[in-house]
Amino acid sequence: MNYGFLINNDTCIGCHACSTACKSENEVPLGVNRTWVKTVETGVFPDVTRNFQVTRCNHCSNPPCVRICPVTAMYQRDDGIVEFDPDSCIGCKACMQACPYDAIYIDPESGTAAKCHYCAHRVDIGLEPACVVVCPEHSILAGDLDDPLTEISQMIARNKVTVRRPEQGTVPNLYYIGGDDMAMHPTAVQGAQETFAWSDPMPEAGTGGVREKDHRPNSSPRKTSPSGQPLRTPQPQGIATGGPIQIGKGRMAEQMTQVVWNAQHRVPWHWPVPAYLVTKGIAAGMFLIVSLMSILRIGEIGNFSGLITASCCLFFLVVTTALLVYDLERPERFLRIVTRPQWKSWLVRGAYLLIAFSILVTIWAAGELALWMSWIAEADYILWRTVLNWVGVPLAVGTAVYTAFLFGQAEGRDLWQSSLLPLHLIVQSFVAGAAFFMIVGSVVELDADVIALVRLTFITSLVLDLLVTMFGEFGMPHASEAAARAAHMIVRGRYARSFWIGSVLFGHLIPLGLDFVNLPGAVAGILALVGLFLYERAFVSAPQEIPNS
């Protein structure tokens, strides 16, 4: 058994009965949608054609949202329905990044992920989904795709059907008859949408997402979750901001193609994610520099330098964990990643890498402190430190690069699907680690061998990072239109100033110049870290603003 949908765009009249029935049946809060009707007008008045497309979860046979979910809150039933469990969800929003169809949202009342679940409660007692029952044109069919005798199977067999974004490999079970390519493809309309027929997109929406701040007038006080935790303000998906009815400027089809109605979607990940990339890069990079120095016997590392390094690594690992927990919609549930892990998710694998690396760094810091306090003999500790270095290097590398594989599971963001990303994150960890070493070295006196290696690492990693960024991430053609648009937004669009001035100039070129003229290393280190954060902010934000629906 494999349940699916068939939607006939040729007969859909855009009445929104399906989305209304969905809200009523499933008690969907205002401001979010499980089913919505996208309306696109093509042509110029008076020769205008209006096209509709009903959008919802595709109940994929190969659902990326299930693989990336760290706690099995998203799961696939034996009958093919992709269901969710709000009681398990921690609100990490990874499933929203993995969905190539923008079908998942955060429920503003529960703070957990939600979406179309095929009205599973109705299907289990032999009833059809509410949207199928209410459609006046019989434009929505639901049923078993594996049974050739069902109406949906026969209609698919007799008609030319298509699916959305088949290149993603999700094998969607939502099929469309007819319809216009302009409605089916989310990037068909050039530029940002300024107005809809009955509402305006939220301010600062970019091309596909809305910002964290709620711009609605007279918004209600911040709500709390059932456990008492504050919930972030719900983000409207197409709610009018200035009145119940709004008409666009001039003719409703001023361009050859214009979206008249669509659901707006929030940007799931904000500044905590690029900040966490920097903080874990500092911790991993500082450990790798000192450990490789010891393993390769490049120079001597004194007890004081080791204690300072271990303390800094431990501090930034704590900050990294705090940022990850802070970004959850249900932070009080964060331990579920450990207590009920879903091992296919790189969120879980990354969490265990961070835990293992944190334990090792804690042991290292305790050993250095014990040596500093003369609680143990130096000869006894040298061997133990060597063992920690050898064990810690793969853990530090894993901590630095696991986010590349997590981003790889986020199949809704094509720019993140870069094969260079693991290498890039390793290089960035050396940049971050060396940069913070230079800041620390201007405050306390570190060993001369450590300072010499740090300066060499700083220069080398900055040059490599610039080469990988300019000639790898943005110099090569991108494999998809969505990735190319996100890259264009970084290099020439909304984030261009942050990229060229903040990251390239102040984050790379000026620190290299300062280092070559032997000016204080702290300034170069601070600029490099700020430039790294600005780059990560652009790299994380831009793909989320490319529309998927």
- Per-residue model confidence (pLDDT) at position 202: 53
Tell me, what's the pLDDT at 376?
76
pTM: 0.87
The H helix count followed by the E strand count for the chain is: 18, 11
490: left (phi over 0), alpha (psi -120 to 50) or beta: alpha
Question: For position 50, what pLDDT does the model report?
Answer: 85
What pLDDT is recorded for position 218?
35
Instruction: Look up residue 312 and give its two tokens.
Output: 């800094």
Q: Which residues contact 15 (CB under 8 A, 6 or more apart)?
A: 136
The two three-digit tokens of residue 483, written as one number: 């990735």
What is the rounded CA–CA span in Å between residue 353 and residue 360? 11
Q: Is 302 left (phi over 0), alpha (psi -120 to 50) or beta?
A: beta
Peptide bond just before 46 cis, omega within 30 deg: yes
Question: What structural domains does the chain harbor?
Answer: 3-261 (3.30.70.20), 272-544 (1.20.1630.10)
Please report the pLDDT score of residue 87 as a whole number: 95
Structure tokens at 100: 């190539």
Q: What is the mean pLDDT of each run of 10 residues along the chain (549 residues)?
A: 94 93 94 90 80 93 96 96 96 96 94 96 96 96 95 95 91 90 73 57 46 36 47 42 44 62 85 97 96 84 86 96 96 94 96 96 91 76 83 96 96 93 97 94 83 91 94 89 93 95 95 77 93 97 90
Sheet holding 36-44, edge to edge: 47-55, 36-44, 257-261
